[in-house]
Amino acid sequence: MQQHYKTDVIIIGAGPCGLFNVFELGLLDLKCHLVDILDKPGGQCAELYPEKPIYDIPALPVVTGQELTDNLMVQIAPFDPIFHFGQMAIACEKLENGHWQVKTDYDTVIEAPVIVVSAGGGSFMPKKPPIENLEQFEGESVFYSVRQMDAFKDQGIVIAGGGDSALDWALNLQPLAKSLTLVHRRDDFRAAPDSVNKMRHLVESGKMKLVIGNIKQAQGSGGQISKLTVKTKDQGDIDLNCSRFLAFYGLTMKLGPIAEFGLNLHENLIPVDTEKFQTSTPGIFAVGDINHYPGKLKLILSGFHEAALMAQEAFRIIHPDKKLRFQYTTSSSDLQKKLGVNDQKVA
């Protein structure tokens, strides 16, 4: 079912720069909707290195990727951003009224006069194993995520991978599967110890099969997979009969459909000017790692600066008749009211 929204600014990407866009735009009374393919905010900070310390955020001597994300979420909370998680922006078109319309792969449609692309290194997409002809089964019997558990009921399932996604889904799908085999390169799992213990227990009791090896080949007909061949160290090649294959080899970033939005590109980056951080298309901005300009440094702090300047021009586009007043959050009672300062009793 299509969901329609209207807002001031559509932000593609909810990483640290996407989130800080909300703050800078919010100070100028502009409301935002954010679209992100991940199921949570933070982008690379949350997906690639939530536990790793970052040392070059101004005034934060050390902060982890997750802490930075959590802090940004607190900082932008007064502006009530609307998030569309787990969705990919797949199309962008200009409407007759001059506004932009962005569609997602979940049939969400958002209209706004301004778009900010803060998509970092692109969309996180599943890493696909280099198995010949695997594409012919994708979406029908081979998947890289589980959207509907029903599709796995009473099926012969093979799950590949050694991380939390592989283990979590192996445990969740085992009770409803006809059979379930977990395949991993080595007999050592980086998933949560509790999940690994549960998996070992199911294997011991014969309710799940564990095969250590590399999947080399897939067979089947039409979109239906029927057999996977696993190369093992001690038993040679093993054939696994199956009707569903789930591969969890982690995520990688790809630019994806943004490449088709009609923006000028420079080696998968979006060139912008350094005054407004606007792209070749007026009304569409790019902030953070995804943009390119002379001297660009891919640092979070660069993106924060870019967001502040972008917001000025976004305001002028959305309110061409209004005068833009430059204010400090330290002294402006107007800004402090927007931030809910008195409500929170913050000095």
Partner 1 sequence: MKINVTDQDGVRHEIDAIEGWQVMEIIRDHGLPVKAECGGSCCCATCHVYVSEEWQDKLFDMRDDEDEMLDENHDREDNSRLSCQIIMTEELDGLSVTLAVSARP
Query: Interface with partner 1 by CB under 8 A: which residues?
Result: 44, 48-49, 52, 121, 127, 129-130, 162-163, 184-186, 190, 214-215, 249-250, 252-253, 298
- Name which of 77 and 255 has its Cβ closer to partner 1: 255
296: helix, strand or coil: coil
DSSP state of 118: -
Q: How far apart are CA 185 and CA 273, in angstroms?
A: 47
**From the CB of residue 228, how many other CB atoms can be counted at a distance below 10 Å?**
25
CB of 190 to partner 1, least distance (A): 4
150 within 8 A of 45, measured Cβ to Cβ: no
CB of 249 to partner 1, least distance (A): 5
8 within 8 A of 79, measured Cβ to Cβ: no
- Name which of 27 and 253 has its Cβ closer to partner 1: 253
Of 149, 206, 217, 161, nearest to 180 by C-alpha is 206
**From the CB of residue 140, how many other CB atoms can be counted at a distance below 10 Å?**
14
CB of 46 to partner 1, least distance (A): 11
- Name which of 86 and 129 has its Cβ closer to partner 1: 129
* Residue 79 in tokens: 């502006």
> What are the beta bridge partners of residue 108?
3
The CA R_g of the chain, rounded to the nearest whole Å, is 23
CB of 279 to partner 1, least distance (A): 22
Q: Report which residue type is found at 206.
A: G
- Name which of 52 and 322 has its Cβ closer to partner 1: 52
311: helix, strand or coil: helix
- Name which of 5 and 249 has its Cβ closer to partner 1: 249
- Name which of 163 and 273 has its Cβ closer to partner 1: 163
CB of 77 to partner 1, least distance (A): 28
81 within 8 A of 36, measured Cβ to Cβ: no
- Name which of 10 and 159 has its Cβ closer to partner 1: 159
CB of 229 to partner 1, least distance (A): 14
CB of 252 to partner 1, least distance (A): 6
CA distances from 144 to 89, 137, 226, 297 (A): 19, 12, 17, 33
Q: How far apart are CA 66 and CA 46, in angstroms?
A: 5
Q: How far apart are CA 347 and CA 345, in angstroms?
A: 6
- Name which of 156 and 213 has its Cβ closer to partner 1: 213
Q: Report which residue type is found at 134.
A: L
Of 28, 34, 27, 41, nearest to 7 by C-alpha is 34
CB of 160 to partner 1, least distance (A): 9
